[in-house]
């Protein structure tokens, strides 16, 4: 089945939200970081997703992140707002405000903690999609939400005209193939290690965490797959493997990514907000051991990598607490 037009881009970065040392959003770093990943080849920016620490951002911060991303991107990349809420009414309001702020698309995560039935999940998706004219990506990540989006639910959701894609962090590529064979849904890899396998079976792209650190190899991989050049795509996949392991294996991806970006001098602080905390000594050592294996094909220079375990230690309590309406 031929895929419909892709309104989201192919190399999408699940953007970290840079904070100051006391846990406030560092807006200067946000702007610099967005510009950096676009210059490296990203054509989509996902703000306020899991990697952006959506659970501890306030609603005004989330809306401003859309506005800032839209301004910095300036037509060079699509801006997708993630996160949402496990309360349907709250999610609808967030996405309405995001649309007004200039978002090009929205990403709806399966309601977490509530553990709804498949009927509840489908109703949530449909009601949010009804509330906006923007194209929608469904985010299937049962490891965080507690429940998967089942095959039958995906087929039913695909009938909604605004629901256009799935970010798959379930990792069941046989199911991905099955759904793509029976619907027009676009698929994006939600696990960095599965970027090339997803593309190889007809996926449209990736929404990557490691792409915060180096988007260029993912751009090369996607372009190679588009050009039927498996050798080049495989070389990019292999070059990224140790960095993906460093970023995604030992601590939450947000924590490792900020630790690495700070060590590279690309953000001012590696701070995360509680309950996330920076890597402990043993975890930091494992991250650094993996980084030592990263070669030139990853397009990131670690020769001046200066990680700061003290700066990363602990987590911050911001002045304004939690997600507020």
Contact 164, 179 (CB under 8 A): no
**Residue for token digits 């220079």?**
301
Report helix angle 27-39 to 59-73, nearest 10: 40
Q: How far is 305 from 114, CA to CA, in rounded Å?
A: 42
Instruction: Show Cβ contacts of residue 166 under 8 Å, excluding neighbours closer than 6 positions.
Output: 137, 138, 139, 140, 149, 154, 176, 179, 185, 186, 187, 188
Q: Is residue 139 annotated as a catalytic residue, yes or no?
A: yes
Q: Of 167, 170, 187, 258, which residue is the catalytic one?
A: 167
Q: Is residue 167 annotated as a catalytic residue, yes or no?
A: yes
Q: Of 62, 78, 95, 139, which residue is the catalytic one?
A: 139
Residue 275, preceding bond cis, omega within 30 degrees?
yes
Contact 243, 298 (CB under 8 A): yes
- HSE (side-chain half, CA atoms, 13 Å) at 321: 3
Q: How far is 167 from 135, CA to CA, in rounded Å?
A: 13
Point out the residues that are catalytic: 139, 167
């Amino acid at each position: 089945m031929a895929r419909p037009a892709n309104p989201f881009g192919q190399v999408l970065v699940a953007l970290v939200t840079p904070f100051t040392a006391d846990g406030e959003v560092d807006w200067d770093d946000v702007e610099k970081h967005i510009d950096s990943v676009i210059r490296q080849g990203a054509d989509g920016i996902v703000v306020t997703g899991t990697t952006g620490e959506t659970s501890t951002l306030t609603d005004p911060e989330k809306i401003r992140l859309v506005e800032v991303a839209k301004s910095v991107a300036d037509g060079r990349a699509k801006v997708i707002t993630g996160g949402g809420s496990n309360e349907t009414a709250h999610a609808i309001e967030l996405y309405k405000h995001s649309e007004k702020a200039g978002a090009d698309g929205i990403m709806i995560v399966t309601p977490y903690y509530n553990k709804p039935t498949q009927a509840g999940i489908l109703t949530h998706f449909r009601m949010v999609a009804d509330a906006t004219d923007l194209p929608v990506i469904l985010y299937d990540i049962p490891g965080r939400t507690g429940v998967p989006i089942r095959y039958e639910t995906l087929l039913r959701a695909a009938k909604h005209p605004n629901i256009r894609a799935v970010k798959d962090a379930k990792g069941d590529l046989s199911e991905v193939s099955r759904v793509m064979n029976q619907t027009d849904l676009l698929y994006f890899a939600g696990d960095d290690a599965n970027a090339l396998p997803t593309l190889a079976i007809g996926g449209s792209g990736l929404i990557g965490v490691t792409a915060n650190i180096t988007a260029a190899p993912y751009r090369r991989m996607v372009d190679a797959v588009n050009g039927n050049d498996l050798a080049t795509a495989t070389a990019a996949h292999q070059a990224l493997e140790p960095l993906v392991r460093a970023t995604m294996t030992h601590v939450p991806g947000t924590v490792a990514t900020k630790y690495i970006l700070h060590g590279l001098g690309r953000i001012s602080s590696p701070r995360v907000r509680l309950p996330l905390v920076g890597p402990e000594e043993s975890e930091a050592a494992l991250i650094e051991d993996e980084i030592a294996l990263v070669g030139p094909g990853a397009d990131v220079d670690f020769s001046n990598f200066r990680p700061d375990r003290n700066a990363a230690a602990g987590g911050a309590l911001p002045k304004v607490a939690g997600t507020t309406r």
